[in-house]
Chains A and B, each alone.
Chain A
């Protein structure tokens, strides 16, 4: 098992025009852990990922990954620390093919000259094909990402995340638009990845969270409402009140 860094958020507050999207949020994810984050729409789940990846700077609070202060680094630096992200709305490069999207994501030197002189090695091609097989995109390799269905875009972005081989994966609503079978496959994939990598996955789908079968954090109005195994969280009266009960 790879010994990675832990993610440490403490007292994070983010306000948009006076509205508190995150309110004194604290969260710790240990190396190799698989953590599900649930919560109603607008609870601040995506904003939390924005803070971790440097897209949004918090008004106050601490965000660390290992020894690194995430609030002082930009998106590029944070990505290079080994934090990868899948966006809630699948985001990739529509004019490029599936293969090319994965190739850009592949862990390799990121400099300008390295990109100019890049030659696709057999090893890199094998890795890309492995991920295409894993994500069911093998026969779409030469198709532009722009023509993929929503579900396939979800898979492509998960594939890009796998190519990056990050220490910490932030996965925002991966199974939206997927069939039950695909949802199960995603859960299985994330369980497999965890251990070697840390994974934080945001999801509405409770079946999916149950399938993950790990510790769950419930967010509500920008802070942690409850935390623990899914069975325990489901029994929590505050959770039932704001989320599950409705």
Chain B
């Protein structure tokens, strides 16, 4: 890898390997007999699984922001759209086991007087189709918003505002009952996925390992991307966008490519998250979620990939711990973290360990 000494490169690989080994522990220790002192609870598995999904989201933000300088404050929307795609599949899997026992329509549709499934629900009974949509819908939205913005050379804070508006608009839309996505209740009471009941230990372990596998794959894709000439162009675009144009590169195409890739990764994260937490509702679109995810990346250290992962885990660990006894303090602490990082830790946690290209 150019620009990074072999020693630092090995250090990174070692750190990544350590993270993944540690992440294998919760499901393994969960499988121990209940009396065993090292056994971890189902709760720990579920919470760690959730954080893994957040880590994928953080990785996707780092790719766009840390490397290409696209500070999206709307990645929560891509995450939520992926989650909704998976949620639709899980709703269809309920079949006639809903409260109303309708063979096709989810409960909320029966309640709202739907006679038949809206056209955009067609195909979601198939798992591969739902997974595809979890990638393609966020990707297409990012493609549209990105194309409009990058083509007009909208950058910096203006782009951030546009993406915030995007997630806010989607939140309002998804709150509406007539959208056909369950209104403010969203989707919940899922039964099974791929034939496995969700409340079983094997489903919990399977979902966890799927998320961990996805984290590894998205990390490898991101690492390949940033170590290529493409990655160096992203850094060039981040630091001197207009200069890149004078070299004959189509900056819009590069930004669009990375923004769409990043949105698809966020969608994947959301799709994995929903069966783990068992619910998806419009709150996932709330603008604050997107901002929080950016803080994870800033705290961990942007433009490093691994920093994004560390940031997602550490900030969420702090949040889970804090909200267990002082939930009101969380926003204050989050804001404080952001200020600390901005003022004292521009390279984030990872910057404490070693210095890297700024």
Task: Tell whether A and B belong to one assembly.
Answer: yes
Q: With A115-B229, A118-B229, A144-B357 as known contacts, state yes or no: A96 contacts B240, CB within 8 Å.
A: no
Contacts of B102 in A (CB 8 A): none
- State in angstroms the CA–CA spacing of A84 and B235 once bound together: 21
Contacts of B230 in A (CB 8 A): 112, 115-116, 118
A92 lies within 8 A of B240 (CB): yes
Q: With A100-B3, A116-B228 as known contacts, state yes or no: A91 contacts B233, CB within 8 Å.
A: no
Task: Kindly identify which residue among A74, A100, A142, A164 contacts B232, using a CB–CB cutoff of 8 Å.
Answer: A100
B104 within 8 A of A: no
A92 lies within 8 A of B2 (CB): no
Task: Kindly identify which residue among B2, B238, B245, B257 contacts A75, using a CB–CB cutoff of 8 Å.
Answer: B245
Counting contact residues on chain B (CB < 8 A from A), the size range is: 20 to 34
Contacts of B328 in A (CB 8 A): none
B243 lies within 8 A of A92 (CB): yes
Contacts of A105 in B (CB 8 A): 247
- State in angstroms the CA–CA spacing of A99 and B254 once bound together: 21
A112 lies within 8 A of B251 (CB): no
Q: With A92-B240, A93-B236, A93-B240 as known contacts, state yes or no: A115 contacts B228, CB within 8 Å.
A: yes
CB distance from A162 to the nearest CB of B (A): 13
With an 8 Å Cβ cutoff, the count of chain A residues facing the other chain is 33
Contacts of A116 in B (CB 8 A): 225, 228-230
A97 within 8 A of B: yes
Task: Kindly identify which residue among A74, A80, A95 contacts B357, using a CB–CB cutoff of 8 Å.
Answer: A95
Q: With A95-B358, A96-B3, A104-B233 as known contacts, state yes or no: A118 contacts B246, CB within 8 Å.
A: no
Task: Kindly identify which residue among A93, A94, A99, A110 contacts B250, using a CB–CB cutoff of 8 Å.
Answer: A110
- State in angstroms the CA–CA spacing of A164 and B245 once bound together: 13
* Chain B contact surface mostly: helix
Residue of B nearest to A114 (CB): B229
A76 lies within 8 A of B228 (CB): no
A48 within 8 A of B: no
Contacts of A142 in B (CB 8 A): 3
B240 lies within 8 A of A160 (CB): no
- State in angstroms the CA–CA spacing of A103 and B358 once bound together: 19
Q: With A115-B228, A116-B225 as known contacts, state yes or no: A53 contacts B246, CB within 8 Å.
A: yes
CB distance from A210 to the nearest CB of B (A): 29
Q: With A112-B230, A116-B230, A118-B229 as known contacts, state yes or no: A97 contacts B248, CB within 8 Å.
A: no
Q: With A115-B228, A116-B230 as known contacts, state yes or no: A76 contacts B249, CB within 8 Å.
A: yes
CB distance from B236 to the nearest CB of A (A): 4
Contacts of A94 in B (CB 8 A): 239-240
A111 within 8 A of B: yes
B235 lies within 8 A of A111 (CB): no
B3 lies within 8 A of A103 (CB): no
A93 lies within 8 A of B243 (CB): yes
Contacts of B236 in A (CB 8 A): 93, 96, 104
Task: Kindly identify which residue among B3, B248, B257 contacts A76, using a CB–CB cutoff of 8 Å.
Answer: B248
Contacts of B239 in A (CB 8 A): 93-95
Most A C-beta atoms less than 10 A away, residue of B240, B243, B247: B247
B246 lies within 8 A of A112 (CB): no
Task: Kindly identify which residue among B232, B251, B257 contacts A104, using a CB–CB cutoff of 8 Å.
Answer: B232
B246 lies within 8 A of A75 (CB): yes
Contacts of A144 in B (CB 8 A): 3, 357
B253 lies within 8 A of A111 (CB): yes
Contacts of A115 in B (CB 8 A): 228-230, 233, 254
- State in angstroms the CA–CA spacing of A117 and B229 once bound together: 8
Q: With A91-B240, A112-B254, A144-B357 as known contacts, state yes or no: A96 contacts B249, CB within 8 Å.
A: no
Enumerate 11 A-B pairs (CB-CB under 8 Å) in ascending A order. A53-B246, A75-B242, A85-B246, A94-B240, A96-B232, A110-B248, A111-B250, A112-B253, A116-B225, A144-B357, A164-B247
Given contacts A95-B357, A104-B232, A164-B248, 17 further A-B contacts (CB under 8 A): A75-B246, A79-B245, A80-B248, A92-B243, A93-B232, A93-B235, A94-B239, A95-B235, A97-B2, A100-B3, A104-B244, A104-B247, A110-B248, A112-B230, A112-B257, A144-B357, A160-B247
Q: Which 5 A-B pairs have the closest CB atoms?
A: A79-B248, A75-B245, A118-B229, A115-B230, A93-B236
Which residues from chain B sit less than 8 Å from chain A, CB to CB? Answer: 2-3, 225, 228-230, 232-233, 235-236, 238-240, 242-251, 253-254, 257, 357-358
